[in-house]
Structure 1
C-alpha cells in the first residue's frame, strides 16, 4: 500500500492546508470559545468527530445523489451528525456543553465541514475521505488549543483551568500556575484577545514555512532570495 497520498492528506490537514490557519474557515467558533484550553479542546474534538463521520457518509453516497441536490444533502448529513454529537455531549459532558452553548449546534454551519464535504469527500473514496476529515479536524483542534493556551496563560497566568469539565473529577487539580503572583490580563480573554492571538499564531506559522522553504532551496542547491535590510541614515 502506497503511503504517499495518505501522508499528503495528513500533512495538508495538520499544517499545509490547516482550516484555521491557512484556509481561515470556522473562525467564528474558534475565536468565540478559545478562552481556555478545555473549551478549545471540547469544541475541537466535537468538530473533528463531525468532520470524520460527515466525510465518510458523503463519500459513501457521492455516486447516489445528483449534483442538483448535493449541497442540501450534505447539510442534512452534517446536521444529523452534529445532532448526535450534541446529544452525547449534553449527556456525558453537560457542564462543558452548557459553556460551549450555541457553538455546538452551529458546527452545522462551519464552513470547514461543508467545504471538505464538497471539495474532497464527494470526490474520493471512503478511506481517504475519513482520513481527510480526521486530520482536518485535528489540525483545527490544534489551532484551537494553541490559541486557547495562549489566551489562558496571558489572561490568567494558569493553564488547564476547570479541566474536570472534560476529564472528570480526577482532573480537578490539573490546573497549573504558569506565572506566579499574576493578576491577569483581561484583554487576552476578551474577543480582541482572540484576534490578536490568532494573528500571532498565523504569523509564527508563516515564519516557520518561510524558513523551511529557504532550507529546502539551500539543500537543493537553488539560489536563495534574501530581502536586503534597509538601513536608515
Structure 2
C-alpha cells in the first residue's frame, strides 16, 4: 500500500479526519467525562498513549499476523497497553483514576483505537503508523479539552480546577475563578449539555472548512482566467 506523506497523515488525524468531530467515534467517553479540563486531559492523554503504542506494535507485526487472528491479536495489544495505563494511573493519579472510573478500562473497546489499528497501522510502515496514532489521539484529546473547558467554564465558572489530581502539587494553585459567586449551570455539567457543545464544535469546524474552501477557490480563480486569456491570445495570433 502506498503510504501518504507524513504531513497529510498528521493533518488527517488532527483536523481533516478528526475522530471526534468528523468520524464521530468514541462519543461515549468524549461526552461522559468532559465536564472539566482535568478529566478531559486525563482521558485524552491515556487514549493518545494507548493509540500511539498500539499502532506502533500493530505496524511491527502486520506481516506476521494472519487474517484469521488479526482482530483478536489487535484487541490483545490494545488491552495490554490499556492495562499499563490503568496501573500507572492507579499508582500516580489514583483520585483522578477513581473519578474517570470505568472509562479508563473501556479504552479497550474504543472504536477509534481498533479502527486505526485495522485500517491504517496494519497496512502501513512504522513511522506513518506512529504519526497516525499520535495525531489521531491528539485530535481526540484536543476536542476533549475544548469540551472540558467550555463545560467547566459555563457549568462552574472556573478553569483548571483540581489540576493537581493529574499534575501533582505544582498545579494545585492553577484554578482560575472567572466568575465569583457563580451559581452552577447544571445542564452544562451533565452529559446532555455535552451534546449541545459538541454540536457547536462540529458547526464551527464546518464553517472554518467552508471558508477555507472558498478562499482556495478565490485564489485559483484568477489563474484560471489568466490561462484562458493566454489561450485566446494564442488563437488570435
TM-score bracket, normalised by the shorter chain, equals over 0.9
1:61 to 2:61 alignment: yes
Q: Distance in 2 between matches of 1:69 and 1:178?
A: 53
Aligned counterpart, 1:211: 211
Q: Which residue of 1 aligns with 2:97?
A: 97
How many residues in Structure 1 have an aligned counterpart in Structure 2?
220
How much does 1:180 deviate? 3.4
Q: Say yes or no: does 1:182 pair with 2:182.
A: yes
How far apart, in 2, do the equivalents of 1:206 and 1:179 lie? Answer: 31
What is the correspondence of 1:22-171 to structure 2 with a 5 Å cutoff? Answer: 22-171=22-171
Structure ID, larger Rg: 2
Give me the TM-score of the superposition, normalised by structure 2.
0.91
Distance in 1 of aligned mates of 2:181 and 2:108 = 42
* Farther-moved stretch of structure 1 (169-178 vs 25-34): 169-178
Structure 1 SS opposite 2:69: helix
Aligned to 2:228: none
Work out the CA distance in 1 between the residues paired with 2:141 and 2:170.
Answer: 23
2:199 alignment partner in structure 1: 199
1:100-123 Cα shifts (integer Å, max 9, x gaps):
111001000000000000110000
Aligned-residue RMSD, C-alpha: 1.3
Alpha-carbon distance in structure 2 between the residues aligned to 1:46 and 1:170: 20
Residue 220 of structure 1: aligned partner: 220
Show structure 1 runs of 4+ deviating over 4 A: none
Q: TM-score, normalised by structure 1?
A: 0.92
Query: How far, CA to CA, are the matches of 2:213 and 2:182 in structure 1?
Result: 39
**Which residue does the alignment assign to 1:227?**
none
Deviation at 1:172, TM superposition (A): 1.3
Once the two structures are TM-superposed, the CA of residue 169 in structure 1 deviates from its matched residue by 1.3
CA displacement, residues 189-227 of structure 1 (integer Å, 9 cap, x when unaligned): 0111111111111111111111111111001117xxxxx
Tell me, in whole angstroms, the C-alpha distance in 2 between the residues paired with 1:49 and 1:110.
Answer: 13
> What do residues 107-158 of structure 1 show as CA deviations (whole Å, max 9, x unaligned)?
0000000000011000000111111100000000000000000100010111
| Aligned equivalents of 2:219, 2:182: Cα separation in 1 | 46
User: Structure 2: any 5+ residue segments left out of the alignment?
Assistant: 223-237
Report the Cα offset of residue 54 of structure 1: 0.2
Structure 1's unaligned 5+ residue stretches are 223-233
